[in-house]
Structure 1
Amino acid sequence: MDVTYQHYINGEWVPSDHDDTIDVINPATEEVISTIPSGTKEETERAVAAADEAFDSWAATPVADRAVYLMKIADKLEEKKDHFIKTLTEENGKTMDTSNAELTVAIDYFRYMAGWARKYEGEILESDRPNENIMVFKKPIGVVGGIIPWNFPVFILARKVAPALLTGCTIVIKPGQATPNTAGEFAKLIHELDLPKGVFNIVHGKGSTVGNTLASHPKMGMISMTGSFNAGSAVMEAAAKGITKVNLELGGKAPAIVSKHADVDLAVGNVYASRTINNGQACTNAERVYVHEDVAEEFTRKITEKMKNAKVGNSMNEQNIDVGPLVNQDQIDSVSAMVDNAVKAGAKVETGGSRKESDKGFFYQPTVLTAVKQDMEIIQEEIFGPVLPIMTYKNFDDAIKMANDTVFGLSSSIFSENIHEIMRAANELKFGETFVNRENFEAIQGFHAGRKQSGLGGADGKHGLEEHLETHVVYMQYKNDIN
């Protein structure tokens, strides 16, 4: 693919009014595969104006009719699924299997949210006064700004778009600048439908310009962003100028506790998946492991073997790839520096520990580190690569304490066959999610939300849908003496 994408505003393809562009790089080959415009403040404001103009009519459209559009989008995505899988793999470096899974969930997400059309509801409350009803209406919050990260550019686009459109909101999307191609292809898909103009818009570019303009714009009802803590903090600061609602999913540093009562093979398989799925670039997946000393040798030996045998390569032209490249040069530099710092501080490399020898591509070897300490950067900061630091513990109190010792609070997991340990973890781990004896991937009918510096608000399910609604209370007086 070698494509030049344009903004999509008010149902039209909009060429940039300047020559400032951004090259999109295939992380497996380091070749330029597309070009996007670096959106300006004025272009972003134009998209917001289009979404604002379309809002009243879209909000007045019966919700069942809005749901039909979501079903049409799902059908179109399914029809073009193979194309999107290839586009996603090329721009992001995912394996083809991971891209296929992401598309499958995205399609399901639109259909799932469409199913809420006749289910979300307001309330009628008892009044303290005679001849009065108190009615609580749930109404769309307005124009939504959806800021998409580079690691799951199709699924998180669906996560932003589907509930917004279903509830009657209009939306302006800013794709991740490293992986904008799937969003550009999604805009083409939308253009083939009869979705009213202005309901869905895309502005490509940098977060510092496009994202900041969206967050600070007085016409925005909500900014929904998935990304890093620093980016989320900047969005929240910009949104504060207009007291605009923010919905933020930020970084994570998910702990996994492997108890002496664990099924070790089950734990090994699931933790391995955490560090290799999406090439280790998933904020919910286990980034640090606390293993009871009684099973530490077995767990470490088995997972080191699996990581050592993981096949690294370009899934576009090789079969049975387990781990692809990291997304760009910055990411591989960051992962390399974190591992090097850990080794300098005393960590031991059990396998991996460096870039894969390759002529091209941002490939990093799956890595296991032992002899790490709780205060090391590799334990405290998000890695976002196929790297696993392992610590041991003696008693369960210590495991819980170390797991909670982080500024993040997105995801966590425990592997144990002991119900008492599981219940303690469920009650004492300070995270938005805890996964028990399974991989760290949330269900679309659940609620995906973080605590502490991992964000505000959440997504998925009933509660994620309601993030896009605001409450309007009507006090209705009536008379008894009707003639």
Structure 2
Amino acid sequence: MTTFTHYINGNWMTSNHHDTITVENPATKETIATTPSGTAEETRQAVQAARSAFGSWSQTPASERAGYLSRIADLFEQNKDHLARTLTEENGKVPALSEAEVDTAVDYFRYMAGWARKYEGEILNSDRSNENIFVMKKPIGVIGGIIPWNFPIFIFARKVAPALLTGCTAVIKPAQATPVTAGEMMKLIHSIGLPEGVLNIVYGKGSTVGNTLAKHESIGMVSMTGSKPAGTAVMEAAAQTMTKVNLELGGKAPAIVTKHADLDTAVENIYQSRTINNGQACTNAERVYVHEDVAEAFTKRITEKMKQATYGNPLQDSDADIGPLVGQEQLDSVTNMVNEAVKAGAFVETGGTPAENTDGYYFEPTVLSNVTQDMNVIQQEIFGPVLPIVTFQTMDEVIEKSNDTEYGLSSSIFSENMHEIMKAVNGLEFGETFVNRENFEAIQGFHAGRKQSGIGGADGRHGLEEHLETHVVYMQYKDDIQ
């Protein structure tokens, strides 16, 4: 069993109290690590370290800051097997997905490093003679980064890379369920000689560490990926100091399958979208709307596909399609939602219950038909390998049903008809729409939600600029120079 300590101001800091958080392998329920349950004072200490480091780090040339990012990427790549295995052990991902997540993090650090000489300000024409208006882009300050448990390596990269590249410093709070990867990544980052205080890690509860970050007067932006209730708490805390928030708060992604869809494409991609990370991905298809003309054929084929999905301990069965859910709370939530839907009239095509004869938190790959729009499996996040299906008749109807949610993160449509696709793209109220493909965003795009799926966004140039603030300078000069 591994014991981790906070990383503050370039040092591993033993907590000054005895409260700890245990981390378990969700495939076996065995304890694999412990971390301190950080205090508000420890969090403030980390923020102060980051604030003290900000002055010199923000004045370091961006190309030099990019060099650190490139070295981090190299180290992550060299230690890919270790990081991926650690991720599988604490999160339950199948090995191939863990390896892909490390690869994406490596790519992310390198991509952001490439922006060092590219992001820029502007010079505007003035209304006065002998004056120029400079629009300068400066780092926003200390970033408080709150990491979720479902993609702890990738989201670490998403929070850290643009922050450091733009000259910000950061304090990171890993998720309670998956802090081990953050500790292992920080060990690697420590070895490159990053200046003290530039990057700090404080373990603990969101109600303590996250709340302290959000309301601290020295935080320039708090960036959180997580649940809507957690995001609401962050906003309320940040309002006390008018701190900028950047929030991704989950989704309820619709997948539309029209009568002109290529069913092979739709079945394969929706299957992948529903089973990746054991169904625990906020961008991926949480509900499927199928045109009544192809509903029977689609349901039969997706059910057969889900029946063939295998589940097991990812560290022992590398060929398993699905691993465990992250913990007992998540397993109970998925079970209750499915039971509630069945009681209300949904029909179980396959699955429907927690998996038997396993040691961990497994739920059977599940397809539900005869589902109605008012059921919670359509309205609220499931976050498990459960696929509810609703039929529709017209494009107007399905767009209205798709938009009938408090969330607005991602969506998808499967059709070979351009007119259907364009009508959906222009009518869907979501930050992303994926056409005839899986729901997974590109790092050079912009990942952002609408409605209650969040504020701000990440990735690409627009995500980078979230970490910058604008400073306008009105520069007068004399014309009669001697």
Coarse TM-score class (shorter-chain normalised): over 0.9
Counterpart code for 2:254: P
Instruction: Identify the residue that residue 87 of structure 1 maps to in structure 2.
Output: 86
In the alignment, the residues of structure 1 paired with residue 112 and residue 318 of structure 2 have an alpha-carbon distance, to the nearest angstrom, of 35
In the alignment, the residues of structure 2 paired with residue 297 and residue 9 of structure 1 have an alpha-carbon distance, to the nearest angstrom, of 57
Instruction: Identify the residue that residue 24 of structure 1 maps to in structure 2.
Output: 23
Aligned counterparts, 1:288-307, within 5 A:
288-307=287-306
Q: Which runs of 5+ in 1 are unaligned?
A: none
Question: Is the aligned partner of 1:368 residue 2:397?
Answer: no
Aligned counterparts, 1:26-425, within 5 A:
26-425=25-424
Q: Which runs of 5+ in 2 are unaligned?
A: none
Deviation at 1:347, TM superposition (A): 0.4
* SS of residue paired to 2:289: strand
* SS of residue paired to 2:329: helix
In the alignment, the residues of structure 2 paired with residue 298 and residue 101 of structure 1 have an alpha-carbon distance, to the nearest angstrom, of 32
Deviation at 1:190, TM superposition (A): 1.2
Question: Is the aligned partner of 1:14 residue 2:20?
Answer: no
Deviation at 1:359, TM superposition (A): 4.0
* SS of residue paired to 1:35: strand
Q: Deviations for 1:91-129, whole angstroms, at most 9, x for unmatched residues?
A: 000000110111110000000000000000000000000
Q: Deviations for 1:368-397, whole angstroms, at most 9, x for unmatched residues?
A: 000110000010000000000001011111
TM-score by length of structure 2 reads 1.00
In the alignment, the residues of structure 2 paired with residue 388 and residue 336 of structure 1 have an alpha-carbon distance, to the nearest angstrom, of 13
CA contact (8 A) 2:273 2:284 kept: yes
In the alignment, the residues of structure 2 paired with residue 419 and residue 237 of structure 1 have an alpha-carbon distance, to the nearest angstrom, of 43
RMSD after superposition: 0.5
In the alignment, the residues of structure 1 paired with residue 344 and residue 375 of structure 2 have an alpha-carbon distance, to the nearest angstrom, of 8
In the alignment, the residues of structure 2 paired with residue 209 and residue 194 of structure 1 have an alpha-carbon distance, to the nearest angstrom, of 29
In the alignment, the residues of structure 1 paired with residue 202 and residue 288 of structure 2 have an alpha-carbon distance, to the nearest angstrom, of 40
Aligned counterparts, 1:443-454, within 5 A:
443-454=442-453
Deviation at 1:320, TM superposition (A): 1.0
* SS of residue paired to 2:222: strand
* SS of residue paired to 1:139: strand
Counterpart code for 1:417: E
Instruction: Identify the residue that residue 461 of structure 1 maps to in structure 2.
Output: 460
In the alignment, the residues of structure 2 paired with residue 480 and residue 379 of structure 1 have an alpha-carbon distance, to the nearest angstrom, of 68
In the alignment, the residues of structure 2 paired with residue 35 and residue 320 of structure 1 have an alpha-carbon distance, to the nearest angstrom, of 29
Deviation at 1:75, TM superposition (A): 0.2
In the alignment, the residues of structure 1 paired with residue 440 and residue 190 of structure 2 have an alpha-carbon distance, to the nearest angstrom, of 32
In the alignment, the residues of structure 2 paired with residue 406 and residue 441 of structure 1 have an alpha-carbon distance, to the nearest angstrom, of 21
Question: Is the aligned partner of 1:476 residue 2:482?
Answer: no
Off by >6 Å, runs of 4+ in structure 1: none
Q: Deviations for 1:340-382, whole angstroms, at most 9, x for unmatched residues?
A: 0000111000000001112410000000000110000010000
Identity, % of aligned positions: 71
In the alignment, the residues of structure 2 paired with residue 384 and residue 359 of structure 1 have an alpha-carbon distance, to the nearest angstrom, of 20
* SS of residue paired to 2:390: strand
Deviation at 1:235, TM superposition (A): 0.2
Q: Deviations for 1:397-451, whole angstroms, at most 9, x for unmatched residues?
A: 1111100100000000000000001111111100000000000000000000000
Deviation at 1:315, TM superposition (A): 1.2
Counterpart code for 1:242: T
Q: Deviations for 1:251-291, whole angstroms, at most 9, x for unmatched residues?
A: 10000000000000100000001111000000000000000
In the alignment, the residues of structure 1 paired with residue 466 and residue 89 of structure 2 have an alpha-carbon distance, to the nearest angstrom, of 33
In the alignment, the residues of structure 1 paired with residue 394 and residue 126 of structure 2 have an alpha-carbon distance, to the nearest angstrom, of 54
In the alignment, the residues of structure 1 paired with residue 436 and residue 273 of structure 2 have an alpha-carbon distance, to the nearest angstrom, of 13
* SS of residue paired to 1:154: helix
In the alignment, the residues of structure 2 paired with residue 15 and residue 305 of structure 1 have an alpha-carbon distance, to the nearest angstrom, of 52
CA contact (8 A) 2:94 2:318 kept: no
Q: Deviations for 1:205-257, whole angstroms, at most 9, x for unmatched residues?
A: 00000000000000000000000000000000000000000000001000000
Q: Deviations for 1:64-98, whole angstroms, at most 9, x for unmatched residues?
A: 00000000000000011000000000000000011
In the alignment, the residues of structure 1 paired with residue 362 and residue 18 of structure 2 have an alpha-carbon distance, to the nearest angstrom, of 32
| The 10-residue stretch of structure 1 (390-399 or 46-55) with the greater mean CA deviation from structure 2 | 390-399
Deviation at 1:319, TM superposition (A): 3.1
Instruction: Identify the residue that residue 436 of structure 1 maps to in structure 2.
Output: 435
In the alignment, the residues of structure 2 paired with residue 463 and residue 318 of structure 1 have an alpha-carbon distance, to the nearest angstrom, of 40
In the alignment, the residues of structure 2 paired with residue 184 and residue 110 of structure 1 have an alpha-carbon distance, to the nearest angstrom, of 18
Counterpart code for 1:67: A
* SS of residue paired to 1:128: coil
In the alignment, the residues of structure 2 paired with residue 419 and residue 359 of structure 1 have an alpha-carbon distance, to the nearest angstrom, of 46
TM-score by length of structure 1 reads 0.99
Counterpart code for 2:400: K
In the alignment, the residues of structure 2 paired with residue 333 and residue 309 of structure 1 have an alpha-carbon distance, to the nearest angstrom, of 24
